[in-house]
Amino acid sequence: MVLESTSYTLRASSPQPIKGECSTLENPAPSTIAFILQTFKASKQVTQSCEDQSRLLCSNDMLGLGGNYVSASYTAQRLLDPDTNSLVFSSTETFRGEIIEEDDVPGAANL
């Protein structure tokens, strides 16, 4: 059985200062009164987990070598499958993130 999860991350710049006036001085001067986090678009990340995986991804499947996967993790579930006499793994494979509009993030309209 394959389980798929999707996560969303807002892409943001570093916090930017908001200009205000320092009210504790006799002659108010410009000062930083707060910071605002400017966001631009969002990243959508899909991860699949599978209980029975008979093969591992190749290095060429990873993002740095031209593939579409960011990370992968495998754990030996059973040392040998009695039917095929081969190793069986439990796996988690994460696909390359997709850049989407902020409005496409579920629940963003409620913020």
Per-residue pLDDT of the chain (111 residues; tens, 9 = 90+): 678 899 988 887 778 877 766 666 676 666 667 788 777 888 899 998 887 776 788 889 998 898 899 999 988 766 666 777 777 778 889 998 888 888 888 887 766
Short-list 80, 83, 97, CA closest to 43: 97
Short-list 63, 8, 9, 16, CA closest to 37: 16
Give the model's pLDDT for residue 94.
Answer: 92
Give the model's pLDDT for residue 55.
Answer: 75
Give the model's pLDDT for residue 34.
Answer: 78
